[in-house]
A and B are shown apart, each in its own frame.
Chain A
Amino acid sequence: MQNTSWIPLFPEQASTFAWQVDALYFYLIFVSVAFSIPIIAAIFFFSMKYRAKEKYATPDEIHGSMVLETVWSIIPFVISMTIFLGGAIIYFQQYTPPDDAMEIYVVGKQWMWKVQHETGQREINELHVPVGRKIKLTMTTEDVLHDFSIPAFRTKADVVPGRYTYMWFEATKPGKYHLYCAEYCGLNHSGMGGWVYVMEQRDFDNWLSGNVSGQTPVEAGKDLFQNKLGCASCHAGGAGQRGAKLEGIFNTDVKLVGGQTVKADDQYLRNSILNPASQVVEGYQPIMPTFKGQVTEEQLNSLVAYIKSLSPGAAAPAAGAPTTAPAMSANTNSAAANKTAPTKPAANSNK
């Protein structure tokens, strides 16, 4: 926000939501003014005209008017419904991430934002995104509530421990914009912020290639799955495996022990790692130990990303072999994906 005016009135408009939210804002200002002027004028006019001319006067009684009451109940109601509808339409968009969005993982922590790109880049208190691309943020936190807020994009969402929350946007203007934590989170709450950099696609590609990156989430997840945590000993191996089959499971309806079905989305996968006994897939025994406390939020993100990559048809239509592709969930043929996918140093450089 490079505001140069003495008193900045509006933040920059830098996402596709911005003009919609601003339009609704102006409509509400218009309604407020149109509503206030008659009332304030009436108060002033009556105060002048009917100020007491003699002490203890007894003006004529007026009890009220059914017609007036009806009119001034219905008109505000109708206007408030237009305001409701306008807000509802925008809200629905704000919290319905499109399927073809590029996914970025965000983990909040007292008092910093940790960002993980699908290509393996990591950032702290900064978020680099290309202009004109739909970006979906999948977010959680290691400790308390936070809120990822970008005023120039006119959107924000709380970040909640123990679950994923989502937000999305499409930036429309290259620039540098404020990033705030908007949900109170303790001592250094007002320091938990940084900048969002919106870049032209070409600059973004350069930024990606210029940045030393670690493993992609899918690669890191595969490593955890096969080596570090030993998930593969039950969840891979074919027909006789003891754990539920994960290939192709993402975004499908899964039958559970007890007859319910549940959609195997990010949230379900996450819960099943942390709290395996709660929703066991039909046909399997509740033998899996919990991994609560043994995996960090970022490792969880990686595991979920890897399991998603085992279901190439679902949400991540990644080209090539699903277990090795960088799994840019959309636009996999973009220059960025091709250029930065291969060989990474094993150690994650910036944690």
Chain B
Amino acid sequence: MQTQDAMNAEMAAKPAMNYLNNGSSLKSWLLTKDHKRIALMYLISVSVFFFMGGLYAAAIRLELLTPSSDLLESGTYNKVFTQHGILMIFFFLIPSIPAILGNFLLPLMIGAKDLALPRINLLSLYIYWVGGAFTLFGLMQGGVDTGWTFYTPYSTTFSNSYVMAVGLGIFINGFSSILTGLNFIVTIHTMRAPGMTWFRLPLFVWAHYATSLVMILGTPVVAITILMLALERVGRVGIFDPSIGGDPILFQHLFWFYSHPAVYIMILPGMGVISELISNFSRKKIFGYEFIAFSSIAIAVFGFLVWGHHMFVSGQSVYAGLVFSFLTMVVAVPSAIKMFNWTATLFKGSITFDTPMLYALGFMGLFLIGGLTGLFLGSVGLTVHLTDTYFVVAHFHYVMVGGQVIAYLGGIHYWWPKMTGRMYSEFWGKISAMLVFVGFNLTFFPQFILGYQGMPRRYASYPEELQVLNIFSTAGASVLGVGLIMPVLYLGHSLLFGKKAGDNPWMLPGLEWRTSSPPPTENFETMPVVTWEAYEFGEESGLDLEEARRRETAAALA
């Protein structure tokens, strides 16, 4: 552990070597083993996919402005929503927090020089690129129209679109996620700094441990499923298509056995980010550390037992439906526990409302709605009416965008000074956070009402009486779009013109704040030794708060 004085002295001696200026050739990036550089390359690639997925979303909302399918023909519309789903889920939501923030921060947070398997880490990035390239190739050839769920026998026998190229892309991309998960687990087990016991780990790390378990255990199943889909589509081996001896419901079981846990791959890391933000911006130890940590594990485990709640009306047995409904209710409890503990953490804290904290508070509101509407959909008799309608669309966007994307943005803003060494405009940060919150609600809340009305999802045209709510939704989407584009501008601006952030702009105790910003390639000048508990803001943390306050006053006077 370094003292503050030593770090100040180091700052004075700039320009110090850091991971960004340690080599600038293309080769030094493409062949790097540095988890931080790999994370940045992920950041750029994932953002490209997010932008493309966002363009598809814009096309969907514009088409739904009017009841008839006028802007896009239904064939085009089918491709647009399919590709929106595929890019957002497989190429943005799943890799976003783990591969960018997890990659960057996991070693820093546990006091390690790098991930345990740095070459494997680089390999996972290349696999992601190759998978992405196949998918983009499929999209450019003419796209795919099966829905992101690839339900059979439509996907194997009836669709004339580029199912194989896109499916291969997703198949390949899955290995990227398996390798990342494997790497995280090995790293957390073997690379913790002296004194960094399991219960001193930041909850972000616990969340990534749980996520990694799901990645390793779940992703192979979707790989196998896509392989079987390919066998049937190309080789006419009867697995899913009943006309050649298969069973279409088998596909749904296999698909959701991965794709439901995949929801937790998307949301668990987000919950990890929120735990960090709430505790650090309240400057208070998180309430019920162990409960939050183990609720992540519980979600990961129970998450594997609820896939059948996607199939309540599929023709599966009524008794299976009842069991899956029961288990779905059980998995709601750990999420509720997290929600209560976050709220209790605010109690008697010292709360500041910097941009990341605005995102965290926004997350709590939106995830509350996302979680509660999950109960509506888990309640099996109600879901018969609600499934396959816009209620489902609204629900999972509240969890995926209101939860995961908001957490991701909060995390990017929180660790941006660490990643780049620069501070962004707090003013524009706050404006953008609020636009995202308002725009998001205006987009997706009306969809709950549309869903209860019975408007089916994946419809290019809809009855006229539903237009008003669709107009609200499209209007909200344009506000959301502006809110999401703004960070690109002010974060980009901060790279060149932002003021120097300093090593620890908020005087926080996490290990990642105890090295320089941006960190050196080896992460720490000397191997840190951890003597404090997680989220320890007082004396024991070893932070010189008096000195920091003095500097603050001096700066204010000057």
Contacts and interface: CB of A to CB of B under 8 A. Distances in A.
Interface of A: 1, 3, 6-11, 20-21, 24-25, 28, 31-32, 35-36, 39-40, 42-43, 46-47, 50-65, 68-69, 72-73, 76-77, 80-81, 83-84, 86-96, 110, 143-145, 147, 149, 151-152, 154-158, 160-163, 165, 178, 180-191, 292
Contact of A61 (B285, B330, B379): B285
B381 A87 contact: yes
A2 B74 CA distance: 26
B365 interface: yes
Interface of B: 69, 74-75, 78, 145, 147, 149, 151, 153-154, 157-159, 241-243, 247-249, 282-285, 287-291, 312-315, 318, 321-322, 325-326, 329-330, 332-333, 336-337, 339-341, 343-344, 346-353, 361, 364-365, 368-369, 372-373, 375-376, 378-385, 387-389, 449, 452-454, 456-463, 465-466, 468-469, 507, 537-539, 545, 548-549, 552
Contacts of A10: 452-453
A9 B382 CA distance: 16
Contact of A182 (B151, B326, B388): B388
A53 B350 contact: yes
A50 B465 contact: no
Contacts of A143: 153, 158
8 contacts: A40-B368, A59-B350, A64-B288, A69-B288, A84-B380, A158-B315, A162-B248, A190-B456
A10 B282 CA distance: 42
Contacts of B69: 190
A181 B456 contact: yes
A8 B462 CA distance: 14
A63 B318 contact: no
Given A50-B347, A58-B538, A158-B315, A28 B283 contact: no
Nearest to A96: B318
Closest 9 CB pairs of A and B: A151-B454, A162-B242, A90-B381, A87-B379, A190-B459, A46-B346, A64-B288, A57-B350, A80-B329
Contacts, number: 306
A62 B243 contact: no
Q: Which of B341, B350, B463 has the most CB of A within 10 A?
A: B350
Contact of A183 (B322, B361, B388, B453): B388
Interface SS of chain A: mixed
A72 B336 contact: yes
Contact of B326 (A84, A89, A156): A84
Contacts of B463: 1, 178
B283 A57 contact: yes
Contacts of A25: 376, 382, 452
Contact of A163 (B242, B340, B349, B365): B242
Q: Which of B242, B282, B461, B468 has the most CB of A within 10 A?
A: B242
Given A21-B385, A69-B291, A161 B153 contact: yes
Given A151-B385, A184-B154, A189-B459, A32 B372 contact: yes
A31 B145 CA distance: 39
A57 B313 CA distance: 54
Contacts of A84: 325-326, 329, 378-380
B154 A145 contact: yes
Contacts of A152: 454
A144 B153 contact: yes
A91 B384 contact: yes
A96 B319 CA distance: 11
B384 A64 contact: no
A311 B71 CA distance: 55
Nearest to B331: A80
